[in-house]
Structures are given as structure tokens and as C-alpha cells.
Amino acid sequence: MLYMIIESFKDHDALPVYRRFRDHGRLAPEGLKYLSSWVTVDLTTCYQLMECENRQLLEQWMTRWSDLVDFEVLPIITSSQAVERIAPRL
């Protein structure tokens, strides 16, 4: 399953987030795969694309960052999967 993770840095402060990442890495449990990410130019929000079969892995990872980041999680599908789902109704 693919997830779009919207991370809002607490107090709009990216420094603690990047310090922890520098010192400890992504802190993702085995089985949670990081695919890509984008950060807003004001360095307050990160959009991460993650993949895993077990949603609990995602929850474990978010717990490790929840003191610095507020999360919104959106289960997503690819555009080609969306076309497959909608095609019978067209």
C-alpha cells in the first residue's frame, strides 16, 4: 500500500527534524519503504511517499517523530490504478 504522508513541523521549525535525521536517520522500521519526499520552500512541511504492507509499521515510524512532527496520512493509488478503477464506469 502507498501512503502520502504530510508532515507539518511543530512550531514551523525544521531544525530539530533535520538534526534528528542527521544523527539517527529516518528511523523507519524494517518493512517500511521510503520512496521519495518534497519539502515546501519555507521548510515547514514535508510530503513523503512511503510504502508498506502493514499499517502498524507506519504508526511505529510516526511515533518516533511525533514529538517534532504532526502527521496526516493519505492512502493513495497510482494514476494507472485509478484509471483501472474508473474505466468500467466511463
Q: What is the mean pLDDT of residues 66-74?
A: 98
Instruction: Please give the share of the chain, as a percent, with pLDDT higher than 90.
Output: 100
pLDDT attached to residue 58: 97
Q: What is the mean pLDDT of residues 54-74?
A: 98
pLDDT attached to residue 73: 98
Domains in the chain with CATH codes:
2-89 (3.30.70)
Instruction: Please give the share of the chain, as a percent, with pLDDT higher than 70.
Output: 100
Helix H or strand E encompassing 85: helix 79-86
Q: What is the mean pLDDT of residues 25-30?
A: 97
Alpha-carbon span 66 to 68, nearest angstrom: 5
- The pTM of this model reads 0.91
